[in-house]
Amino acid sequence: MSDLQLSLGIMGLLCVFSALLGWRLRREPGQRTGRLVTVLMTALMGIYMMWLWDAPVLVSLLPFSGVIILGNWLPVIGAYYAGVCGSTRTIPTWRRALLSCGLMSLSVYSLYSPLMGEAPRCMNVDFERILEFQTTDQTCSAACAASLLRMHGIDATEKELTELCLTRRGTHWMGVYRGLTLKTAGTDWKVVVERLSGDELSRAGRFPGVLSLTFNGRAAYRPADAGLVQNTGHSVVSLGTNRESSLVVFDPSPDYGFETWNDATVDEVESAVLIRLESRLGQAPEFPEAVRMIVEETNSVYWAKR
């Protein structure tokens, strides 16, 4: 059984239990316990949406490759309300059935949505690179994940990571976490995730990793060849910082590649999730000499233009 099947099974059982709990508590005489649990479930939903939804802290709570499914608690809460609605006698039967079925359908859709659709078809690459360019418009995250793994001495390809990261029209950072977690299983590396605001992005230079980015409104006013689009996610590989602490990245878009991001570029980042590998033994990674030379060359070019 794969991690996704196991995760779906666990969440499915939790949804069934939650729906039955809502049904039974609503039927109890007095309904005091039912009202209390309903208030608690409503509070849980608020807490989840405000502080846990799409937050890297979920990886700390659920450090499993299936966190993209296990970390979605809305279906469980929705199933509870479906059970409450289905057992409310003051509502006509047809309305109860309609509302309950609607809530359960939304819960099932929310739970299964990361697996819907097909992965993009990547082109075959006849030569090997440490840092890999994306071959489709949707696979920037998969290409970055493959590059990061190669930097740490683990064989990987864009095509393989497209499947493991659950890439569809794009890739959620939890999908990247899944792909990296599966590829590093049994190795000396573990996956670490942290969210960075635009002001904190310079911290990413300390830790090479995949940066999953969103951009603010100012990105819409950049020149057409800048590569940053408002309200569109993009991923790059963080490689370190140069002598002025500017961020050196590898953009997997074929028209870009190695770039140095100054303060003006960093200011256009709304938020960023850094996904990196950390040694289980507490050792610093030894990156390929080619990567170190590229960063040094980028630094030299940057200072030559000063």
On whether both 149 and 258 belong to a single domain, the answer is yes
List pLDDT tens digits, range 244-288: 777 888 999 988 888 888 777 887 888 889 999 998 887 666 665
pLDDT of residue 208: 83
Which range has the worst mean pLDDT, 110-119, 132-141, 232-241? 232-241
pLDDT of residue 171: 95
On whether both 55 and 179 belong to a single domain, the answer is no
List pLDDT tens digits, range 15-40: 999 999 998 887 776 677 888 888 99
Q: Is residue 124 part of a domain?
A: no
Which range has the worst mean pLDDT, 76-85, 90-99, 144-153, 174-183? 90-99
On whether both 58 and 148 belong to a single domain, the answer is no
On whether both 156 and 300 belong to a single domain, the answer is yes
Q: What φ, ψ does residue 106 adopt, rounded to 5°?
A: -65, -40
What CA–CA distance (Å, rounded) separates 132 from 117? 24
On whether both 110 and 255 belong to a single domain, the answer is no
| Long-range Cβ pairs for the range 229-233 (8 Å, 24+) | 233/170
On whether both 255 and 207 belong to a single domain, the answer is yes
Among 269, 259, 247, 261, CA closest to 199 = 269
Mean pLDDT within 109-131: 87
pLDDT of residue 300: 52
Residue 162's Cβ-count burial label (10 Å; 0-12, 13-18, 19+) is buried
Q: Which of 115, 149, 164 is the last residue of a domain?
A: 115
Cβ(168)–Cβ(116) under 8 Å?
Answer: yes
Mean pLDDT within 97-114: 89
On whether both 81 and 14 belong to a single domain, the answer is yes
Cβ(236)–Cβ(252) under 8 Å?
Answer: yes
At residue 225, does pLDDT exceed 70?
no
Q: Is residue 181 part of a domain?
A: yes
Q: Is residue 121 part of a domain?
A: no
pLDDT of residue 289: 61
How many domains is the chain partitioned into structurally?
2
**Domain coverage including residue 53:** 3-115
On whether both 90 and 166 belong to a single domain, the answer is no
What CA–CA distance (Å, rounded) separates 227 from 255? 9
What CA–CA distance (Å, rounded) separates 213 from 225? 18
pLDDT of residue 85: 87
Q: Is residue 109 part of a domain?
A: yes
Q: What is the mean pLDDT of the chain?
A: 84
Specify the CATH number for the domain of residue 243: 3.90.70.10
Beta-ladder partners of 269: 215
Most confident of 8-17, 104-113, 218-227, 269-278: 8-17
How far apart, in Å, are the Cα atoms of 123 and each of 55, 79, 247? 32, 42, 30
pLDDT of residue 291: 61
Cα–Cα–Cα angle for 182, 185, 190, rounded to 5 degrees: 95
- pLDDT bin (cut points 50, 70, 90) of residue 97 is confident
What CA–CA distance (Å, rounded) separates 26 from 81? 10
On whether both 55 and 99 belong to a single domain, the answer is yes
Side-chain half-sphere exposure of 211, counting CA atoms within 13 A: 32
On whether both 153 and 279 belong to a single domain, the answer is yes
At residue 119, does pLDDT exceed 90?
yes
List pLDDT tens digits, range 47-88: 999 999 999 999 999 999 999 999 999 999 999 999 888 887
Q: Which of 67, 99, 115 is the last residue of a domain?
A: 115
Q: Which of 56, 80, 115 is the last residue of a domain?
A: 115
pLDDT of residue 14: 95
Q: Is residue 82 part of a domain?
A: yes
At residue 10, does pLDDT exceed 80?
yes
On whether both 105 and 40 belong to a single domain, the answer is yes
Those residues whose C-beta lies under 8 Å from the C-beta of residue 12, and which sit 6 or more positions away, are 111
Mean pLDDT within 239-247: 75
Tokens of 280: 């289980």
On whether both 107 and 223 belong to a single domain, the answer is no
How far apart, in Å, are the Cα atoms of 41 and each of 16, 48, 303? 15, 10, 57
Most confident of 119-123, 172-176, 243-247: 172-176
Q: Is residue 262 part of a domain?
A: yes
At residue 299, does pLDDT exceed 80?
no
Beta strand 209-215 with 189-197 is: unpaired
What CA–CA distance (Å, rounded) separates 239 from 258? 9
More confident residue, 214 or 223: 214
Q: Is residue 48 part of a domain?
A: yes
Sheet strands side by side (includes 234-241): 189-197, 269-279, 209-215, 234-241, 247-251, 257-261
pLDDT of residue 182: 97
Q: Which residue has the tokens 């870009």?
A: 256
The pTM of the full predicted model, rounded to 2 decimals, is: 0.88
Q: Is residue 128 part of a domain?
A: no
